[in-house]
A and B are shown apart, each in its own frame.
Chain A
């Protein structure tokens, strides 16, 4: 299944923004463990931004960057949001409050606890009424989202913005789910080529696991890739950054690989 990548947004340690990330991932500049810059997510109205949770700002920040590179109408783009664990900071506050005798939780906290909070805020920020799906598939969440976005673009004949994000959980939950990073990435995908494209990708599922999945050569980037489901996008992003024809193999569940032939445009 062939798709075109029209825009990319990234946020993570040493990977703030596609321009800088592209150079790092192409090996043109060294990777660094710099603390990630705070997401601005300036597309959110100030009131909503103030109210929004951290993971929503991460998701919308990269979504906004990818849309700025592409030429698609923001209200015509369907969205797929992928997160393994949602906003664990909100979950921590929610469960802490429920462990107190009076069990008082605020309406705002409850709103933010839904897995589709980023999707909802995207709708508020853009006014878009296009389909939006929020999904989870543990460490394969990015791959699952890529399949969902690809199928949507192909069959519904619409551009799709894929946004994957996960942040390290606060201390008590980190022991249950030690996600590294945080990391967020967005890809604007279209079924037909746009005037400008970053790459063409050809996706296929494979049950042949005789070849290893693609890792990152750089130790720091590999640690990020293996430690955060959203960063499982890195081998694909690196292939796009290098601007060379590359076959990327992403682990998908424990049973399959997602094969992605990346061709420069």
Chain B
């Protein structure tokens, strides 16, 4: 589809959404004039107020190959220190790099007032989740929210693509040779380790929360969509606050699966590089506590301002060639936050470093934002952490806002001249007020989030 037609589609879409909302007030387009072709929203906006109440991230943290918690993550980003290393995960013989988190193996899942209740959750994925919870005072923050709202009023909405599948992979190599039966220890732990709900089950048990819970599993958009669902649940009154985020850990099926698709680079990934040749897999856990601003948040606090979800409706693993699904997600996030493209100071790209993903995301970003908005991918630092990529991007976005910093793109030496967005190679120190973060997944599942300070 030629670019003009793409715009026509979006403009119709946005106009219709705005009409549906039944608002006819004019909007302040903000201090920036959108440049380039990215003006679809501003031309058609008639909404005078945000379509969602900003939700404050009162606590947030992340653990990835860059380190544990905000300070280590920020230092690695600032110092351009990658967390990627040659693959040393178990006995995997795939020629690639990985973003493995140190010390996951040593985490003890248990303790507290109900050690037995927690020990059954023990697996790499939940160890990584616990390592995440333990950073930056997150546990204390969640406990305070529990006291403030009541355990039943705090939801746990997480994202994961493979949960604790490593347990099942290991169990299959220990099948009874005569009967094919799986080890009995696996049979009783399956629910608490590999079942897709396991990570949210573990986190709500650990934090003593009793509100609505689920794991969203839409591949690489999972933990971004957790923010959208939590925002709806708070607005619908199903809960007052939510622990959102996600966790995905290294496992055999992902390493050998992406190898089978020939989408993995043999070296550290090089997002947006003219010679990029595939992604690098990583693992991470990230969490945020979302609360309404009338209950929390000081001036300068980081808030979720908008979200946009869409599908490509095209292919299981190849994005729509014109990026129409991605465009739709970004436009919906702008509409939701009553912001224009010119209001966004930085775009945290999904940026996996496969040839087609980066190229199509670039097409989509350029068609919404033009060349004026700086963007970059941090996958060269963390690797692609799949279902946890959304929350990892969200926490990096929050750090950009609070520390006046924009990361460049690591491992990349020359930006692909065919890309038309403003891809940053080097880090920048600059005030950042609003960040859009993209997460696009298998099955053509897209989610864009907008964060800002309030």
**A: which residues have CB within 8 A of B?**
1, 75, 83-86, 91, 94-96, 98-99, 103-107, 110-111, 113-117, 119-121, 123-124, 126-138, 141, 144, 147-148, 150-152, 154-157, 171-173, 175-177, 205, 207, 252-253, 255-256
Cβ-defined contact, A147 with B233, below 8 A: yes
Instruction: Quote the shortest CB–CB distance from A2 to chain B (angstroms).
Output: 12
Cβ-defined contact, A105 with B260, below 8 A: yes
Between A and B, 17 residue pairs with Cβ closer than 8 Å are: A84-B195, A84-B196, A84-B197, A113-B253, A114-B442, A117-B443, A120-B444, A131-B311, A132-B445, A136-B214, A137-B214, A144-B214, A157-B20, A157-B21, A173-B182, A255-B152, A256-B210
Cβ-defined contact, B182 with A98, below 8 A: no
Among B195, B216, B218, B443, chain A packs the most CB atoms within 10 A around the CB of: B443
Cβ-defined contact, A256 with B443, below 8 A: no
Given contacts A123-B443, A124-B315, contact A113 B195 (CB under 8 A): no
Interface string of B112-134 (1 = CB under 8 A from A): 00000000000000000000000
- Expressed in whole angstroms, the Cα–Cα distance for A253 and B154 within the complex equals 14
**B: which residues have CB within 8 A of A?**
20-21, 152, 161, 165, 168-169, 171-173, 175, 180-182, 186-187, 190-191, 195-197, 200-201, 210, 212-219, 225, 229, 232-233, 235-236, 238, 252-253, 256-258, 260-261, 309-317, 324-325, 328, 441-445
Instruction: Quote the shortest CB–CB distance from A77 to chain B (angstroms).
Output: 11
Cβ-defined contact, A177 with B190, below 8 A: yes
Given contacts A105-B257, A116-B441, contact A111 B316 (CB under 8 A): yes
Cβ-defined contact, B256 with A103, below 8 A: yes
Cβ-defined contact, B168 with A95, below 8 A: yes
A sample of 11 more A-B contacts (CB under 8 A), given A124-B313, A147-B233, A151-B236, is A75-B313, A84-B195, A95-B168, A96-B172, A111-B317, A117-B443, A124-B316, A129-B313, A135-B215, A136-B214, A255-B210
Q: Which residues of A lie under 8 Å from residue B253 when comparing CB positions?
A: 94-95, 98, 105, 110, 113
Q: Which residues of B lie under 8 Å from residue A177 when comparing CB positions?
A: 190-191, 195
Instruction: Quote the shortest CB–CB distance from B377 to chain A (angstroms).
Output: 22
Q: When the two chains form the complex, which single residue of A104, A119, A124, A138 contacts B314, counting CB atoms closer than 8 Å?
A: A124
Cβ-defined contact, A176 with B190, below 8 A: yes
Nearest neighbor of B309 in chain A, beta-carbon distance = A131
Cβ-defined contact, A138 with B201, below 8 A: yes
Nearest neighbor of B447 in chain A, beta-carbon distance = A131
- Expressed in whole angstroms, the Cα–Cα distance for A244 and B325 within the complex equals 42
Q: Which residues of B lie under 8 Å from residue A150 when comparing CB positions?
A: 236
Among A120, A173, A252, chain B packs the most CB atoms within 10 A around the CB of: A120
Cβ-defined contact, A114 with B328, below 8 A: no
Cβ-defined contact, A107 with B260, below 8 A: yes
Q: Which residues of A lie under 8 Å from residue B310 when comparing CB positions?
A: 129-131
Q: Which residues of A lie under 8 Å from residue B175 when comparing CB positions?
A: 99, 172
Q: Which residues of A lie under 8 Å from residue B261 when comparing CB positions?
A: 107, 110
Cβ-defined contact, B316 with A135, below 8 A: no
Q: When the two chains form the complex, which single residue of B201, B210, B233, B252 contacts A151, counting CB atoms closer than 8 Å?
A: B233
Given contacts A114-B442, A136-B195, A137-B197, contact A91 B182 (CB under 8 A): no
Cβ-defined contact, A172 with B182, below 8 A: yes
- Expressed in whole angstroms, the Cα–Cα distance for A252 and B172 within the complex equals 32
Nearest neighbor of A156 in chain B, beta-carbon distance = B232
Given contacts A99-B172, A255-B152, contact A114 B196 (CB under 8 A): no
Cβ-defined contact, A120 with B445, below 8 A: yes
- Expressed in whole angstroms, the Cα–Cα distance for A133 and B212 within the complex equals 16
Instruction: Quote the shortest CB–CB distance from A27 to chain B (angstroms).
Output: 33
- Expressed in whole angstroms, the Cα–Cα distance for A119 and B444 within the complex equals 9
Q: Which residues of A lie under 8 Å from residue B328 when comparing CB positions?
A: 129
Q: Which residues of B lie under 8 Å from residue A135 when comparing CB positions?
A: 214-217
- Expressed in whole angstroms, the Cα–Cα distance for A95 and B190 within the complex equals 14
Among A1, A98, A128, chain B packs the most CB atoms within 10 A around the CB of: A98
Cβ-defined contact, B238 with A115, below 8 A: no
Instruction: Quote the shortest CB–CB distance from B321 to chain A (angstroms).
Output: 14
- Expressed in whole angstroms, the Cα–Cα distance for A135 and B443 within the complex equals 14
Q: Which residues of B lie under 8 Å from residue A156 when comparing CB positions?
A: 232
Q: Which residues of A lie under 8 Å from residue B235 when comparing CB positions?
A: 151, 155
Q: When the two chains form the complex, which single residue of A94, A103, A127, A175 contacts B313, counting CB atoms closer than 8 Å?
A: A127
Q: Which residues of B lie under 8 Å from residue A256 when comparing CB positions?
A: 152, 210, 212
Cβ-defined contact, B190 with A114, below 8 A: no
- Expressed in whole angstroms, the Cα–Cα distance for A171 and B161 within the complex equals 24
Q: Which residues of B lie under 8 Å from residue A157 when comparing CB positions?
A: 20-21
Q: When the two chains form the complex, which single residue of A98, A111, A138 contacts B191, counting CB atoms closer than 8 Å?
A: A138
Among A111, A131, A138, A173, chain B packs the most CB atoms within 10 A around the CB of: A131
Cβ-defined contact, B443 with A151, below 8 A: no
- Expressed in whole angstroms, the Cα–Cα distance for A119 and B97 within the complex equals 30
Q: Which residues of B lie under 8 Å from residue A110 when comparing CB positions?
A: 253, 257-258, 260-261
Q: Which residues of B lie under 8 Å from residue A121 when comparing CB positions?
A: 316
- Expressed in whole angstroms, the Cα–Cα distance for A205 and B212 within the complex equals 9
